[in-house]
Chain A
Amino acid sequence: MGKSRRTVQIVILCLILVLGGYAITTSVSGSNGKPKEGDRAPSFELLGLDGQVHTSDEYQGKAMVINFWGTWCEPCVKEMPALQAQADKWKDKGVQFVGINVGEDQMTVDNFVRQVGVTFPIMLDRDKNSVRDYGISPMPTTFFVSETGKISTIHIGQLDLDTLDAQISQLAKQP
Chain B
Amino acid sequence: MFQNTKCECGHQNPVGTVLCEACGKPLLEETAQSNEVLEMRYDGMARRSQRSNPNIIDRIWNFFSSVKIAVYMIVLTLVGSMLGTIYPQESTFLNIDPSVYYKETYGQLGHIYYLLGLSHTYESWWFILLLVMIGASLVICSLDRVLPLYKALNKQRIRKHLQFLTRQRLVYQGSIEEAPEEWIKKAVTPLRKKGYRVHTQGDALLAEKQRFSRWGPYVIHIGLIIFLLAVLARGLPGLNLDEHVAFPEGEIKKIPNTSMYLKNEKFNVEFYSDDEVPEQFKNLNKTVPKLFETKVVLYECTADCSDLSKKPQLAEVARHDVRVNQPLNYQGLKAYQFDYDLTPTIRSVTPDLVNVKTGEVYGSLKIDMMDTQRTFKAGPYTLTVKEKFMDFALDDKGEPKSKSPSPNAPAFLFHIKGPDLPEKGIQYLYFAKQIDKQRFQQDAINRQLVGGELPLQLEVDSMDKVDLIQSVSYLNIRVDKAMPFVWVGAGIVMLGLVMGFYWHHRRIWIRFDDERITLGGHTNKNWFGFRREVAGILKQMNLEVDEKSLDNGGNQA
Contacts and interface: CB of A to CB of B under 8 A. Distances in A.
A22 B60 CA distance: 20
Contact of A72 (B90, B256, B385, B390): B390
A52 B310 CA distance: 10
Contacts of B120: 31-32
B115 to A, nearest CB: 15
A27 B123 contact: yes
Given A20-B129, A46-B308, A103 B405 contact: yes
A24 B235 CA distance: 10
Given A20-B132, A51-B309, A107-B372, A26 B235 contact: yes
A10 B61 CA distance: 9
- Which interface residue of B48, B58, B308 has the most chain A CB atoms within 10 A? B308
A24 B132 contact: yes
Given A24-B132, A129-B256, A105 B123 contact: no
Given A10-B57, A31-B120, A132-B256, A24 B125 contact: yes
Nearest to A77: B401
Contact of B140 (A12, A27, A71): A12
Interface size class of B (residues with CB under 8 A): 35 or more
A46 B308 CA distance: 7
B371 A106 contact: yes
A12 B390 contact: no
Nearest to B310: A53
A105 B387 contact: no
A71 B61 CA distance: 62
A111 B124 CA distance: 47
Interface in B120-163: 120, 123-125, 128-129, 131-133, 135-136, 139-140, 143
Nearest to B139: A12
A175 interface: no
Interface residues of A, number: 39
Contacts of B401: 72
Contacts of A106: 371
Interface string A74-117: 10000000000000000000000000001111111001000000
B245 to A, nearest CB: 10
A173 interface: no
A45 to B, nearest CB: 7
Nearest to B370: A105
Contact of B402 (A12, A27, A32, A72): A72
A23 B254 contact: no
A25 B374 CA distance: 50
B129 A24 contact: yes
B123 A104 contact: no
Interface in B300-317: 306-309
B232 interface: yes
Contacts of B199: none
Nearest to B402: A72
A161 interface: no
A160 interface: no
Interface string B248-289: 000000101000000000000000000000000000000000
A127 interface: yes
Contacts of B404: 72
Nearest to B307: A53
Contacts of A31: 120, 123
Contacts of A28: 123-125
B443 interface: no
B154 to A, nearest CB: 17
Contacts of B390: 72, 108
B535 to A, nearest CB: 44
B371 A105 contact: yes
B388 interface: yes
Nearest to B90: A32
A30 B387 CA distance: 42
Given A16-B139, A23-B131, A9 B61 contact: yes
Q: 6 tightest A-B contacts by CB?
A: A20-B132, A47-B308, A26-B235, A72-B402, A16-B136, A31-B123
Interface of B: 48-49, 57-58, 60-61, 90, 120, 123-125, 128-129, 131-133, 135-136, 139-140, 143, 229, 232, 235, 254, 256, 306-309, 370-372, 374, 385-388, 390-391, 395, 401-405
Interface of A: 5-6, 9-10, 12-13, 16, 19-20, 22-24, 26-28, 30-32, 45-47, 51-53, 70-72, 74, 102-108, 111, 127, 129, 132
20 contacts: A16-B136, A19-B132, A19-B135, A20-B129, A23-B128, A23-B132, A24-B132, A27-B123, A32-B90, A45-B306, A45-B308, A52-B309, A70-B405, A72-B402, A72-B405, A74-B395, A104-B405, A107-B371, A107-B388, A108-B388
Given A13-B60, A27-B125, A47-B308, 11 more contacts: A9-B61, A12-B139, A13-B57, A27-B235, A28-B123, A53-B309, A72-B405, A74-B395, A108-B388, A111-B386, A111-B387
